[in-house]
Structure 1
Amino acid sequence: MHAFVLQGKSFVYKEVEEPVVSQNQVKIKLKYAGLNHRDLKLPNRRNEADPALVIGSDGAGIIVEVGEGVREFTIGDEVIVNPGLGWKEKSDAPPEGFEILGLPDNGTFAGKIVVSEDHVEKKPAHLDWKEAGVVALSALTGYRAIFSKGQVKSGDTVFIPGAGSGVATYLIQFAKAADARVIVTSRSEQKRAKAIQLGADLAIDTSADWPEILQNEQIDIVIESVGKATFNRSLEVLKRGGKLVTFGATTEDDVTINIRKFFYGQYQLLGTTMGSREELRDMLRFIETKDIKPVVDQVFDLKDTQEAFDYLQAGKQFGKVALKIG
């Protein structure tokens, strides 16, 4: 079968051996997979001598084989892959040993994948295949950030810098489904317009004077994923005692803050990453109940994954980028 792999520190589209099913595992013929910024950074975690590894964390397809001991699934089931390995119950932080599919285990950018049945969920019926293929990682990350950590409630105002990311498009929809007011930022006028169409109440230019524009707003929660470029600017508009939830850093990781100003403001700084299987299942029920769907910006064929990576790296997308496999 063909796959997009990380060989040493280089990405390669090549023929690889089909995986073999063991006890308590299922084999899925993948139809679509989803790109994440995590994929772009994987070469930094590998050595040149390392063997080829199929990358990719998100995917959806049909079960074509089940191993001995599998009880929850049968051949023909339409499923999505849970990319979080080793985190079952909701908790304050992931357990020791938690990993994300696609490193160290082979991932979803291939014709087929074998995973434990513990890391498979039924495909939400209201999603088509490309939507199902991109939903798990980003939507779970957003769900935990805004509900488990941010504890958003009706009437809150949520501020989301960087409106075009896949997680941000889920956050907008999640916050609106919780009856919150949503404010986003983007450098792109087109992305700001799309955010409004998706449900955001206000979209402002990233380069604008945020305190000036938002002086009549009370920002209860900031969901921050940009990092150094916006972190202190986000704190500047957050209400005293408000929550800043951070799950990423698409700019630099290291951030310097005025700690005295921080503790005088009694701000709450909360970190989060991905989520548990329990939260994934809660999220899937939530999007079915609320009829929430992923925003899929572009679809590329598996053989064109490098082109898809270049598109994602350039920040051109509004929402998710998918790979067509089947």
Structure 2
Amino acid sequence: MFAVSAVRIDSKDPLSGLELGEREEPASRAGWTTVTVKAASLNHHDLWTLRGVGITEDKLPMILGCDGAGVDEDGNEVVIHSVVDPRDGKPSILTEAYNGTFAQKVLVPKANLVPKPAALSWEQAACLPTAWLTAYRMLFRNSGLKPGDTVLIQGAGGGVATAAIVLARAAGFRVWATSRSEEKRARAVELGAHAAFESGARLPERVDAVLETVGAATWSHSVKSLRPEGTIVISGATSGAMPPAELTRIFFLQLRVIGSTMGSLDELKALARMCEVTDVRPVIDSVLPLAEARTGFERMEQGEAFGKIVFTV
């Protein structure tokens, strides 16, 4: 079968380890099922894998892709929850210990399948399991926000950030976003942000919570933008993970700093239901055939995308 794989780790030139070509189809396994992939979406995690984060050379080659939607062996249209929780080991996500979704077929535990929302296209459904699920947990489990509260979303344009803008607006929060790009700020407002500001700009007032996925480049601004006893929820650090700690401000204003990773199977089901009963739809930057996956990786690495890059199979 055709697949997109990591065959080599290179922290400085990650795309040099990307290979497109034939791989063996997955073998059957008790309690697991083969899903014929219809669409799969790209995440920064796939770039980090090529850099050697969360994986070692002995695990290669590894088929990439955490997110996917397709048809299982019984003909059901499904979305794949990518967190695998084996009884005999620690939880991991696809592409860390198990081949991923950038292939014609992927083997996953039957328990990891969620019915595909009929209201969503294959491409939209493939966006839910990682970036959109991450944004869902950040907002509805970890932020402490109530309808009417103000949330600042750093780095408008990324998959998690665009998801958070749409979900936060649908939930009744006042939504502010930041970006270095004037075009991305304008698009954030089109998505539903009440206002968008240049990265690092002084805000009209302090916010109740900040969703932080950028890291070093925006961390100080995130801390300074919070009201006393406000919350920063962190789910990534695409610009680097070692910013100044700002410890004095954090303890003096009694700020909360909460880490957030992915989401549970039940949260994915809840997100799917939210899409069914509202007009919430994943934001897609571009759709490419899997054979052109390298173009998608290059677009993500260069920071050009606004929303999700999706591969069709």
TM-score bracket for this pair, using the shorter chain length: over 0.9
Distance 1:109 1:151, change over 3 A: same
The TM-score normalised by the length of structure 2 is 0.93
- Of 316, 320, 323 in structure 1, the residue corresponding to residue 308 of structure 2 is 320
Identify which of 284, 306, 310 aligns with 2:272: 284
What CA distance in whole angstroms lies between the structure 2 residues aligned with 1:47 and 1:8?
Answer: 10
Question: Is there any run of 5+ residues in structure 1 with no aligned partner, and where?
Answer: 66-74, 89-95
User: Which amino acid counterpart does residue 64 of structure 2 have in structure 1?
Assistant: I
Deviates more, 1:20-29 or 1:111-120: 20-29
1:16 to 5, 15, 23: 23
Q: Which amino acid aligns with 1:156?
A: D
The aligned counterpart of 1:239 is 227
Output the CA distance in 2 between the equivalents of 1:257 and 1:49. Answer: 35
CA deviation profile, 1:191-219 (whole Å, cap 9, x unmatched): 11111111100011115x32xxx23x240
2:131 is aligned with 1:138: yes
Shift, 1:49, TM fit? 5.6
- Describe how 1:219-238 pairs up with structure 2 within 5 A: 219-238=207-226
**1:149 corresponds to:** 142
Counterpart position of 2:162: 169
SS in 1 for 2:68: strand
Matched to 1:116, the amino acid is: P
Paired position in structure 1 for 2:13 = none
1:288 & 1:244 partners in 2: Cα distance?
29
CA distance in 1, matches of 2:58, 2:118: 43
- Pair 47,86 (structure 1): closer, same or farther in 2 beyond 3 Å: closer
Matches within 5 A, 1:197-236: 197-206=190-199, 209-210=201-202, 214-215=203-204, 217-236=205-224
Query: Aligned-residue CA RMSD in angstroms?
Result: 1.7
**Pairing 1:6-155 to 2, within 5 Å after superposition:** 6-9=6-9, 10-43=17-50, 44-45=52-53, 46-48=55-57, 50-63=59-72, 65=73, 75-86=74-85, 97-155=90-148
Deviations 1:110-165 (A, max 9, x none): 00111111111110111001111122111110011011000321110000110101
Aligned residues: 303
User: How far off is 1:277 after superposition?
Assistant: 1.1
Report the CA distance shift for 1:191/1:258 in structure 2 as closer, same or farther (over 3 A): closer
Deviation at residue 27 of structure 1 after TM alignment: 1.2
Partner of 1:70: none
Name the structure 1 match of 2:12: none
The percentage of aligned residue pairs carrying the same residue is 37
CA contact (8 A) 1:87 1:276 kept: no
Deviations, residues 20-44 of structure 1 (Å, cap 9, x unaligned): 2222222111111000001001131
Deviation, 1:258, is 3.1
Asked if 1 retains the 8 angstrom alpha-carbon contact of 2:144 and 2:231, the reply is no
Distance in 1 separating the partners of 2:308 and 2:296: 11
1:307 alignment partner, SS class: helix
